């Protein structure tokens, strides 16, 4: 892989699991060289974030050895702000993560905020920033450490196009080692010079060179080659077995031949490589519309936004009726998420939801869910009308929510699982209005067309905020409101 000859990360026969019945890594070997820009690729649940934990010392291997170059510093940019950090001010937040002394810290904070293109007063609390601004703060908290190894977990989530551009330019020019987990192909292809592919079925890591698109094509060709070889071996093994069965009944002289044929067939089956299966995709679904609603469901004549760091009231003219879909646009920090939350809570003075209309709210950080609830209770609570246990579990299974997930608490789920629970909840709710704030964050790309199809077909009012153009293009939009 690109970079120097010095190895900075080495996995040797590494095994890892949280539960011995469900191993994540088995006998994993790979090396990362100094200065490499590496994508960590794999299916949902394969253990990509756990690999980051093994690299930064959060986890210990069950078997094997993880070697990190001597005296090298590591910083991790996580997907979401830690709960204990949300009440910190910007100054306190960076003092927590920076290694600079107090004399240099204010200048370092200013410099790193310029890198991520964010204006952030030092006395402002982290929780007061929008999701996109918090994404930039998470990145800046990792960058301010100036680490030898930078680990980024889904860094483009919540970033607008300008934010992604700034991050891309930074990574292109960063001289040290970078490992990134992301589903954004164009972003990855702009700087990647190698891929570590973690296979959820074999529990092993394959190492590829070159850029992201080239590697995806290599993996595709390898799967096709493996499948063709498996088909040939399966056919030959079956023929050997059939021949052996015939010989086995032809007398004792041919029984030895039959035995040898069966051994050959078994050897052929042993040669077959594990078929790499694709991620399971959620089943097509429909979000039913609340009954007995009509007329204007939502009337908005003014909104409050942030302009030049000041709260400003902006006159608008929006009415949502049944079958009206509105795309809400604007840069990070203009208060899109805040506006959506205020509409949901009835706190936006210029917006009026018609009496009796239910709102289905998909919040990008899932904080409208009760994290202490089990998934079962979360879904049951949302049911618009009684449903049999079997029907409810069958519907949830369409979102890859199995019995074990049903028993789990919301807080214990991965971010992508929370997203699927949130969509299942919307289906059970039967809303009159859908309000969706960056609903593709954390979601596997295989699920996105299914989700887009369901939203496109929704017959109620809808407000969508999304920076993912490919997703938006798949959904019918009747109105457009740019807050900038």
Which of 2-16, 73-87, 241-255, 288-302 shows the lowest per-residue confidence on average (mean pLDDT)?
Answer: 241-255
> How many Cα neighbours within 13 Å face the side chain of 337?
25
What are the residue ranges spanned by the domains of the chain? 7-216, 220-271, 298-482
pLDDT band at 282 (very low <50, low <70, confident <90, very high): very high
pLDDT digits (tens, 9 = 90+) for 349-377: 999 999 999 999 999 889 899 999 999 99
Residue 78 predicted with pLDDT over 60: yes
Residue 405 predicted with pLDDT over 90: yes
CB 375 within 8 A of CB 421: yes
Q: What is the pLDDT of residue 220?
A: 72
Residue 255 predicted with pLDDT over 80: no
| Average pLDDT estimate for 386-408 | 93
Question: What residues contact residue 446 under an 8 Å CB cut-off, 6+ apart?
Answer: 278, 279, 281
Q: What is the pTM of this model?
A: 0.69
pLDDT digits (tens, 9 = 90+) for 30-64: 999 999 999 998 877 778 889 999 999 999 999 99
The reply to whether 7-216 and 298-482 are identical in fold is: yes
| Average pLDDT estimate for 92-112 | 83
Radius of gyration of the chain measured on its C-alpha atoms: 26
Instruction: Determine the topology of domain 7-216 in CATH.
Output: Rossmann fold (3.40.50)
Q: What is the pLDDT of residue 223?
A: 72
Residue 275 predicted with pLDDT over 60: no
pLDDT band at 3 (very low <50, low <70, confident <90, very high): low
Identify the CATH assignment for 298-482 out of 1.10.10.10, 3.30.465.10, 3.20.20.70, 3.40.50.300.
3.40.50.300
More confident residue, 372 or 201: 372
Which of 22-31, 194-203, 311-320, 458-467 shows the lowest per-residue confidence on average (mean pLDDT)?
Answer: 194-203
CB 364 within 8 A of CB 131: yes
pLDDT digits (tens, 9 = 90+) for 413-430: 988 899 999 999 999 999
Q: What is the mean pLDDT of the chain?
A: 88
Question: What residues contact residue 125 under an 8 Å CB cut-off, 6+ apart?
Answer: 86, 87, 88, 89
Q: What backbone torsions phi and psi does residue 350 show, to the nearest 5 degrees? A: -90, 10
pLDDT digits (tens, 9 = 90+) for 131-188: 778 888 998 999 899 899 999 988 887 777 777 888 888 899 899 999 999 877 778 8
pLDDT digits (tens, 9 = 90+) for 173-186: 899 999 999 877 77
Alpha-carbon dihedral 280, 48, 426, 322, rounded to 10 degrees: -90
Judge residue 148's burial from the number of C-beta atoms within 10 Å of its C-beta, 0-12 exposed, 13-18 middle, 19 or more buried.
Answer: middle
């Amino acid at each position: 892989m690109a970079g120097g000859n010095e190895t900075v990360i080495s996995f040797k026969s590494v095994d890892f699991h949280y539960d011995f019945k469900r191993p994540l890594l088995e006998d994993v070997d790979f090396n990362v060289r100094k200065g490499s820009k590496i994508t960590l690729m794999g299916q949902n649940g394969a253990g990509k974030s756990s690999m980051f934990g093994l690299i930064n010392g959060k986890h210990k291997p069950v078997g094997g050895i993880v070697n990190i170059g001597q005296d090298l510093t590591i910083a991790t940019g996580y997907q979401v702000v830690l709960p204990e950090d949300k009440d910190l001010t910007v100054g306190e937040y960076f003092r927590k993560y920076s290694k600079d002394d107090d004399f240099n810290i204010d200048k370092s904070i200013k410099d790193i905020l310029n890198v991520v293109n964010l204006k952030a007063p030092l006395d402002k609390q982290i929780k007061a920033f929008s999701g996109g601004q918090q994404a930039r703060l998470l990145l800046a908290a990792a960058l301010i450490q100036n680490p030898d190894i930078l680990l980024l977990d889904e860094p483009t989530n919540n970033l607008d196009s300008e934010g992604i551009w700034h991050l891309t330019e930074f990574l292109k020019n960063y001289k040290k080692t970078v490992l990134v987990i992301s589903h954004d192909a164009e972003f990855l292809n702009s700087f990647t010079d190698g891929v570590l592919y973690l296979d959820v079925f074999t529990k092993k890591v394959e190492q590829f060179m070159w850029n992201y698109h080239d590697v995806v094509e290599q993996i595709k060709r390898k799967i096709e080659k493996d499948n063709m070889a498996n088909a040939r071996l399966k056919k030959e093994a079956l023929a050997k077995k059939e021949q052996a069965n015939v010989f086995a009944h032809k007398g004792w002289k041919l029984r030895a031949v039959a035995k040898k044929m069966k051994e050959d067939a078994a050897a052929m089956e042993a040669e077959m490589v594990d078929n790499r299966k694709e991620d399971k995709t959620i089943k097509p679904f429909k979000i039913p519309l609340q009954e007995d609603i009509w007329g204007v469901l939502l009337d908005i004549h003014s909104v409050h936004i942030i302009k030049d760091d000041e709260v400003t009231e902006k006159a608008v003219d929006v009415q949502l009726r049944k079958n009206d879909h509105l795309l809400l646009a604007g840069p990070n920090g203009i208060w899109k998420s805040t506006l959506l939350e205020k509409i949901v809570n009835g706190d936006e003075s210029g917006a009026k939801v018609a009496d009796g209309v239910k709102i289905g709210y998909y919040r990008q950080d899932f904080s409208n869910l009760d994290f202490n609830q089990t998934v079962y209770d979360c879904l049951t609570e949302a049911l618009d009308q009684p449903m049999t246990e079997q029907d409810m579990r069958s519907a949830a299974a369409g979102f890859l929510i199995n019995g074990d997930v049903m028993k789990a608490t919301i807080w214990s789920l991965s971010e992508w699982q929370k997203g699927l629970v949130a969509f299942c909840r919307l289906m059970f709710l039967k809303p009159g209005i859908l309000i969706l704030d960056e609903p593709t964050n954390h979601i596997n790309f295989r699920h996105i067309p299914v989700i887009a199809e369901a939203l496109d077909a929704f017959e109620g009012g809808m407000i969508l905020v999304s920076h993912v153009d490919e997703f938006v293009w798949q959904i019918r939009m009747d109105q457009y409101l740019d807050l900038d």
